Amino acid sequence: MAELERQGFSVTVLAPETNGLLDLDKFSAAIRPDTVLASVMLVNNEIGVIQDIKAIGEICRPRGVLFHVDAAQATGKVAIDTRQLNVDLMSLTAHKTYGPKGIGALYVARDRRVRLEPQMHGGGHELGMRSGTLATHQIVGMGECLRIAGTEMATEMPRVRGMRDKLYQRLAARKEVQVNGDMQNRIAGNLNFSLKLPNCDQMIASLTDIAVSSTSACSSGGASVSHVLQALGNDTQLAGNSIRITVGRFNTDEEINFAADYLVQKIDECRAALERQPA
Ligand SMILES: *Cc1c(COP(=O)(O)O)cnc(C)c1O
């Protein structure tokens, strides 16, 4: 975005609603007669919410706006049919779907006559679009991880969702837990919540028995509080004391039970410490 502005484009950044989803009327109203491109994440990397890409594409197309979708977090999690979705450009990456790092793809709709600029110049490989010898092992790795995801998805997602929902139910029973982002329009494996406990930042910073992604007011020094969680209307403390749990292909019920017990115990310890403090 900063790079586009540096090149002289004017960029409009739309804030989501408090559930993390884009309001389609606001999106439509933000398109100007000179708008050339809209870009939306299919699945958000922090809160896992799924945008209504088909509807957004339907807004873009009649107005001549090219529609780019970042689907890095979506492959293997939601069915993607670029034609049905009215998408012109879609970026993909292998390593978020159990594939190798360092390989991705850009889908370009053939019938939309998108004119792309090469990012690399040289030998003119791939019709001049990507000069340089291709890394065959990376390409095969990406193809294979997506093939596996395609065949596994139908059974994997309900299983992952079951585990995620179990965690969700255990945690949401604590009144200090505020789930971030819409729970309906959300990929199966994502859970993201903030803790309404003013004394929990040390605890969050020292969650060592499970692998979660967290920000705590003390670990971040207040500097790198999630812009996504703030865009949902959370203040810096709530956005700062957040935990993201991703349940994936290789998780087990035992691990989910362990994580739930562990987190509930930590939350209860924080609340108990707070209640012991003299008023
Ligand atoms: C990871 C990610 C990217 C970047 O992909 P890399 O292959 O790591 O460069 C882009 N967008 C989203 C939403 C992501 O989650």
Q: For residue 139, what is the domain's CATH number? A: 3.40.640.10
State the virtual CA torsion across 164, 165, 166, 170 in degrees, nearest 10: 110
In a domain, 53, yes or no: yes
CB count within 10 Å of CB 275 equals 7
Task: Please give the pLDDT value at position 163.
Answer: 98
249, 184: one domain: yes
Q: What is the pLDDT of residue 102?
A: 96
Kindly state whether residues 184 and 73 are assigned to the same domain.
Answer: no
53-106 pLDDT, tens digit per residue, is: 999 999 999 999 999 999 999 999 999 998 899 999 999 999 999 999 999 999
β-bridge partners, 190: 246
If asked whether residues 137 and 166 sit together in one domain, one would say: no
pLDDT higher than threshold 90 for residue 223: no
Question: Is residue 108 located within the same domain as residue 212?
Answer: no
**CA 32 to chain CA centroid, nearest Å:** 27
Residue 73 CA: nearest ligand 1 atom is 15
Which residue, judged by its Cα, is nearest atom 4 of ligand 1?
72
Give 93's strand partners.
104
95 Cα: distance to centroid of ligand 1 (angstroms): 9
Last residue of a domain, one of 144, 164, 197: 144
- Is 60 within 8 Å of 39 (Cβ atoms)? no
Domain presence at residue 138: yes
State the pLDDT at residue 219.
Answer: 57
213 and 266, same domain (yes or no): yes
The Å distance, Cα 42 to ligand 1 centre, comes to: 12
Inside any domain, residue 17:
yes
Report if residue 140 sits inside a domain.
yes
Instruction: Give Cβ neighbours of residue 94 (< 8 Å, ≥ 6 apart).
Output: 100, 101, 103, 104, 138, 141, 142, 145, 146
Tokens at 215, concatenated: 């920000």
Q: Say whether both 159 and 120 belong to one domain.
A: no
Q: Ligand 1, atom 10: nearest CA belongs to which residue?
A: 72
Per-residue confidence (pLDDT) for residue 220, from 0 to 100: 52
Q: What is the pLDDT of residue 67?
A: 97
pLDDT for residue 215: 80
Tell me if 149 is assigned to some domain: no
Q: Which of 82, 117, 144 is the last residue of a domain?
A: 144
Number of domains in the chain: 2
Q: Are residues 136 and 181 in the same domain?
A: no
- Give the CA distances from residue 74 to residues 45, 78, 185, 205, in Å, rounded to whole numbers and listed in that order: 9, 6, 12, 28
Residue of 49, 3, 1, 56 whose CA lies nearest to 26 = 56
d(CA 248, CA 98): 10
The pLDDT value recorded for residue 155 is: 98
Distance 170 CA to ligand 1 centre (A): 30
The yes-or-no verdict on residue 45 having pLDDT over 60 is yes
Q: Is residue 150 a part of any domain in this protein?
A: no
Contact (Cβ atoms closer than 8 angstroms) between residue 67 and residue 61: yes
Residues with CB under 6 A from ligand 1: 41, 45, 70, 72-73, 93, 95-96, 104
Neighbours of 3 (CB within 10 A): 8
pLDDT of residue 211: 92
Helix or strand (DSSP H, E) at 35: none
pLDDT at 222 over 60: no
Interatomic CA distance for residues 229 and 34, integer angstroms:
31
Mean pLDDT of the chain: 93
**pLDDT in the model for residue 214:** 84
Does residue 271 belong to any structural domain of this protein? yes
> Does one domain contain both 170 and 250?
yes
pLDDT tens profile 240-269: 899 999 999 999 999 999 999 999 999 999
pLDDT, average across residues 215-241: 79
Q: Are residues 8 and 139 in the same domain?
A: yes
For a mutational test of ligand 1's pocket, the pick from 78, 93, 227, i.e. the residue with the most ligand atoms closer than 8 A to its C-beta, is: 93
Residue of 60, 200, 218, 270 marked active site: 218
Model confidence pLDDT, tens digit, residues 165-190 = 999 999 999 999 999 999 999 999 99
pLDDT at 218: 65
Q: Are 49 and 11 in contact (CB under 8 A)?
A: no
**248 and 178 in a common domain:** yes
CATH number at residue 160: 3.90.1150.10
Q: Give the mutation target among 91, 96, 138 for probing the ligand 1 site: most ligand atoms within 8 A of CB.
A: 96
Rg of the chain (C-alpha set) = 21
- Residue 172 structural domain: 155-276
Å from CA of 217 to ligand 1 middle: 25
Does the annotation mark 218 as catalytic?
A: yes
Who's near 242: CB < 8 A, 6+ residues apart? 180, 192, 193, 194, 195, 204, 214, 215, 226, 229
**The overall pTM is greater than 0.85:** yes
- Ligand 1 atom at minimal distance to the Cα of residue 41: 13
**Per residue, what are the HEC states of 64-98?**
CCEEEEECCCCCCCCCCCCCCCCCCEEEEECHHHC
Query: Which is higher by pLDDT, 43 or 276?
Result: 43
**Which ligand 1 atom sits closest to the C-alpha of 103?**
7
State the pLDDT confidence band at 112, using cuts at 50, 70 and 90. confident
Q: Which residue has the higher pLDDT, 206 or 91?
A: 91
pLDDT band at 196 (very low <50, low <70, confident <90, very high): very high
In a domain, 204, yes or no: yes
Q: 174 alpha carbon to ligand 1 midpoint, in Å?
A: 32
Q: Are residues 134 and 214 in the same domain?
A: no
Do residues 22 and 56 make contact, with C-beta atoms less than 8 angstroms apart? yes
Q: Are 74 and 85 in contact (CB under 8 A)?
A: no
pLDDT category of residue 221 using cuts at 50, 70 and 90: low
- From 144, 168, 197, the end of a domain falls on 144
Q: Which of 37, 47, 85, 70 lies closest to 187, judged by CA? A: 47
**Domain match, 241 and 200 both:** yes
Least confident interval from 156-160, 171-175, 182-186, 211-215 = 211-215
